[in-house]
Amino acid sequence: MFSAIKALTSALVILLAFAGCGGKNAPKQETSPDSLPTSAVASALKAVPQDAVFVLSVASPTSFWDLTVNQSIVPIEAKQATELNTAMRAHVQQHLGLDVSAVQNVLVFGTMSGGAAVIGPVKGELKGARDEAGLAMATLDADADIVAALHSDTLLVGKRDSVLASAATLDGKSPAFSGDFTNFAETQFRAAYLAAAADLGKIPLPPTPSTQGLERAGLKVDTSGIHLMVTGKPETLNMLKEQLESFVAMGLDILKHEMEASSSDFAIGAGAILAYYNAQSLAAALKPTVDGNTLRLDFDLLGGGISGTMVVAGIGVLSAVAIPAFTKYTKKSKTSEGIQFIKKMSDGARTYYATPDFASTSLTPSQTKKHFPASVGPTPPLGTCCSMGGKCIPDADTWEHPTWKALDFAMRDPHYYSYEFKTEVKDGVTSYTALAYGDLDCDGVYSTFSHYGVVVDGEVQAGADVIKQNALE
């Protein structure tokens, strides 16, 4: 899945790099949905292999090159625009050897093991390419095994295996994307500037009540607005609807808090005020509805006198304030788990140290173990939660180690952190450390929470506070 995202990023970077800056006299292009490259989108779908679980399409009524050239932020004279285009074409030719000025559509597909972008039509010969499986192929990122390959007039960019599978599909050597999901995707892509479709039944979503029974999801951006559609069991969709409404309400609360907390800073405060009141209007418009086995959420871009430019500006303001605030808020809420449970582990250690063990010796009630359980963990191993989509599914067998039993410690609900208990005897001093490790955004960078206890004159003295390192990563 990550490879498909990387493929999309590579494709868009290539296309945007191809574009120059327009001149004052550049002719304007027709931008009605009737001029969208419907046939090109349909042709690109033929390059999607059968095991695809999501497909995304970006289409333009004119080529991406011309669209960017003719809608320059800073207009320049026609002569300069011509020179710029010439220089850009020479640069692209030098590095890629391709003419991409006619590309109007980029389609990206993802499988459970990779993905690729389908771009066309292109002309020329791919720079630095070698022959592989009958394709002219060049390596873009050796570490991630991302390649570009030319198949007739179609450029394929993505994970090597996915690019080869796409080429085999175009050649009729492998089964193509077909069936109900294909029909669903084609419906989403019709007259759309941007559209996406996902086969949720094939994607291992976290096994929660709000995900069990989901079938497909579609996103479509056209001249009327933004449209989201999810199909599945009615009871699951109603639960999803409630979660979306709660998510919007929580977002408003976060923005209101940011607005009140930022009043002392002029620039940040102004942005927070704009974000909050724009978000209120946006929340009123984003009302999900459930009808049978379909959930819909529609946002009219042009209704009520709101222009597309105003929407883009509004989204920009909201994103600048809301996304960092929401990310910080959600991470903070998740850290409460780590703090809560290492304190529980620490309590278990002190109880164990002070509890008589009559089973192993002939201790009297006044005598105690005078030691802590053996070191154990991290449990589950680091990276396990991210491999499950960011949150670990509880497993009773995971916590069967004698130390976890001695501490009366186990995670019985889905959790974000891995836990470790360390015992140390050094220079005659006995101590323990309870630790929690979390990678909340699954980027390989961990936060660490620890709570320390040491034996002084036969009594366990625990630290007053939890020590936090890189708490929000």
Instruction: Specify if 259 maps to a domain.
Output: no
Answer whether residue 447 is part of any domain: yes
Question: How far apart (Å, rounded) are the C-alpha atoms in residues 469 and 421?
Answer: 17
Domain assignment present for 28? yes
CA 314 → CA 19, 160, 405, distances in Å?
26, 39, 54
174 neighbors 49 (Cβ within 8 angstroms): yes
Cβ–Cβ under 8 Å, residues 451 and 464: no
Number of domains into which the chain is organized: 2
Element (H, E) at 294: strand 294-300
Give the DSSP letter string of 7-31: HHHHHHHHHHHH----BTTPPPPP-
| DSSP letters for 183-204 | HHHHHHHTT-SEEEEEEGGGS-
Nearest-angstrom CA–CA distance, 254 and 311:
21
Give yes or no: residues 199 and 338 share one domain. Answer: no
347 within some domain: yes
Residue range of the domain that includes 135: 2-203
pLDDT over 90 (residue 84): no
- Is the Cβ–Cβ distance between 343 and 419 less than 8 Å? no
Domain assignment of residue 170, yes or no: yes
Three-class DSSP category at 415: strand
Q: What does pLDDT average to over the chain?
A: 78
Q: Tell me: pLDDT of 447 over 80.
A: yes
Position 227 in a domain: no
Q: Does a structural domain hold residue 235?
A: no
Top pLDDT among 429 and 32 is at: 429
Q: Is the peptide bond before 373 cis (omega within 30 degrees of 0)?
A: no
The DSSP code for 372 is: P
For 387-425, the pLDDT digits (tens) are 887 788 888 899 999 999 999 999 988 899 999 999 999
**324 in any annotated domain:** no
pTM to 2 decimals? 0.56
- Which of 177, 203, 229 is a domain's end point? 203
Tokens of 456: 């002084």
- What local confidence, expressed as pLDDT, does residue 83 receive? 83
Helix axes 38-45, 180-189, angle to 10 degrees: 150
Residue with the larger pLDDT of the pair 74 and 358: 74
Query: Phi/psi of residue 289, each to 5°?
Result: -130, 150
* pLDDT bracket for residue 308 (50, 70, 90): very low
The token pair that represents 36 in the structure block: 């969208």
Give residue 300's pLDDT.
75
Give the tens place of pLDDT for each residue, 21-46: 334 444 444 444 445 556 777 788 88
Residues 197 and 339 in one domain: no
Q: What is the pLDDT of residues 314-326, one digit of tens each?
A: 445 555 555 565 5
- The whole-angstrom separation of Cα 27 and Cα 40 is 24
- Residue where a domain terminates, one of 203, 236, 256: 203
Q: Show which of 180, 203, 226 is a domain's final residue.
A: 203
